[in-house]
Amino acid sequence: MSSAQFGGGGGGFGGGGGGASAPAPDAKPKFREYVHSTDGLPLRREKGDAVVLDVKVVGNKTVGIHRILQALQTRKDRFYDYETVLGDVRRLNDMGSFDHVTFKLDEQPGGVAVTFLVHERPVITRVIYHGNRAINDRELRGRAGIEKKDPLSEFSIESARRRLIDYYREEGFNQVSVTSSIGIRDDAGAVVFRINEGPKERIADVEIHGNTIVSEARLKKIIQTRGPMVGVLNYVGNTADMRTIDKDVDVLAAYYHNLGFLTATVGRRIAYDDSGKWITVTFVINEGPRFKVNDVQIVGNQFITEESLRRRLELGPGDMFDGTLLRRDVGELVYGYGELGFIYAEVEPKTVMRDEANVVDLVYDISEGDRWKVGQIRVNIDGEPHLMKETTMLNLVDLREGDWIDRRTLELNRRRLERSQLLETNPQIADPPDIKVVPRDEYLDTL
């Protein structure tokens, strides 16, 4: 494939967010993937010599026979098929109501009688919450996710216990303890959660240590952890959520990495007061050195020349590393390819530490993909078709059949259709207007 250059000088295809993703092609289901059914039974060519004389289910107590029969494809007066019976066993197991399913055949002169033997899982008779004071039973039931008549499963009970712990910690009860047990006297199906809530913890203060490049006030604005308000508002919205605190550790580290402090580390300390209810959160930052860009490499490009690609990059050798500029440069490359018809091109940036102190190489790994032209342009309108609407919509689209697809134009046309008020845009009523691309062997259809 011959090389080409992006048109224009430095501002050929401005802006664009970093790492913009390509529009995904629609996947149309094949005809054979459609299922046509009558009375719950998928249509198929029947086979076999014997006829099913009868179908019975033995062992069910709480699961209704009608619900079981709906899952079966083996039916009375149809041809008997061993593979279908095995499939029925699998379908009954998939219901989740049985821990064991087998079948028995009774061959008779006129055909075969099939009996499915099921063993139901034990069910939960009631769920008991003991020891909760700050949070009522109704809220706990909504978070636990298990109820009376659900299958009695140790896995589901353990999952419910973990969800309860997570809920309490979200509410500031970081010292909570929850244990579970199955069965009480005269009720083997009862599930009991014993809860020791502990105190509700609140934040007394937030401190940041070790920062020299960025002020503490600025860093506090980019994290979610907040100290108390003034006066009587100390308690309003003040909950010590450890998950939020841990996320803020990652937020601070990412912020420093974005500024070029690629080896910066962030930790946190928690200090309790004498009551055990108020905590001081301290974020500890080790900034490390700020890195410079040593070299910029471009790999994987075939259609576009390296010289043309480099003209679009703002971050270059000798500059301080800047994550914001890096993302901007990735967006420039992606949209540049998109203007030439490579609408699925991808650019992956990589940073490579050098042996020299505080320098890093940047590598842009490009996957160009195929180049696409506009094929047919079709307008699909749900509801009553209207010729005038279709004509107006086509006039709003800048794409023309036979042209190379311009990714930026494609996105601008999408936004233009949304703002046109020709079609319903409320997602609760209908799908909002969109332009979808469907790859074909020789060109791309635009819908």
Query: Is domain 202-286 given the CATH code 3.40.30.10 in the classification?
Result: no
DSSP E strands, 197-345: 202-209, 265-272, 278-286, 292-299
Cα–Cα distances in angstroms (integers) from residue 91 to residues 31, 84, 94, 292, 312, in the given order = 24, 10, 5, 61, 57
- Least confident segment among 27-36, 194-203, 231-240: 27-36
- Least confident segment among 189-203, 252-266, 433-447: 433-447
**pLDDT reported for residue 34:** 38
Residue type, 223: I
Mean pLDDT of 185-201: 93
Average pLDDT over the chain reads: 82
Residue 196: is its pLDDT beyond 50?
yes
Which of the residue ranges 4-18, 134-148, 228-242 has the most confident prediction, judged by mean pLDDT? 134-148
**pLDDT reported for residue 408:** 79
Confidence of residue 13 (pLDDT cuts 50, 70, 90): very low
**pLDDT reported for residue 374:** 80
**pLDDT reported for residue 44:** 42
Where does 292-367 sit in CATH, by number? Answer: 3.10.20.310
pTM of the model: 0.64
In 10 A of CB 136, how many CB atoms? 10
pLDDT tens track for 302-337:
999 999 999 999 999 999 999 999 999 999 999 899
Confidence of residue 343 (pLDDT cuts 50, 70, 90): confident
Domain locations along the chain: 50-120, 126-196, 202-286, 292-367, 374-446
Pick one of 3.40.50.300, 3.40.190.10, 3.10.20.310, 3.40.30.10 as the CATH number of 50-120: 3.10.20.310
**pLDDT reported for residue 120:** 87
Higher-pLDDT residue of 54 and 34 is 54
- Least confident segment among 24-38, 119-133, 208-222: 24-38
Collapse the DSSP code of 321 into the 3-class scheme (helix H, G, I; strand E, B; otherwise coil) and give the result.
coil
**pLDDT reported for residue 436:** 62
Residue 268: is its pLDDT beyond 70?
yes
| Cβ(155)–Cβ(146) below 8 Å | no
**pLDDT reported for residue 442:** 45
Superfamily of domain 126-196: membrane protein fhac (3.10.20.310)
Which of the residue ranges 35-39, 372-376, 385-389 has the most confident prediction, judged by mean pLDDT? 372-376
Higher-pLDDT residue of 431 and 269 is 269
- Least confident segment among 248-252, 285-289, 383-387, 422-426: 383-387
| Cβ(351)–Cβ(262) below 8 Å | yes
**b (16+ CB within 10 A) / e for 137-170:** eeebeeebebeeebbbbeebbeebbebbbebbbe
Residue 212: is its pLDDT beyond 70?
yes
pLDDT tens track for 403-414:
888 877 777 877
Domains 126-196 and 292-367 share a fold: yes
pLDDT tens track for 52-89:
999 999 999 888 899 999 999 999 999 999 999 999 99
Residue 444: is its pLDDT beyond 70?
no
Residue 26: is its pLDDT beyond 60?
no
Mean pLDDT of 245-258: 96
**pLDDT reported for residue 15:** 43
**pLDDT reported for residue 289:** 94
Burial of 55 (0-12, 13-18, 19+ CB in 10 A): buried
| Calpha distance 201→240 (Å, rounded) | 6
**pLDDT reported for residue 43:** 41
Residue 219: is its pLDDT beyond 80?
yes
Chain centroid offset of residue 197 CA: 32
Residue 280: is its pLDDT beyond 50?
yes
Question: What are the φ/ψ torsions at residue 303 (nearest 5 degrees)?
Answer: -80, -40
Total count of residues recorded for the chain: 447
Question: Closest Cα partner for 149 from 120, 129, 184?
Answer: 120
Higher-pLDDT residue of 216 and 24 is 216
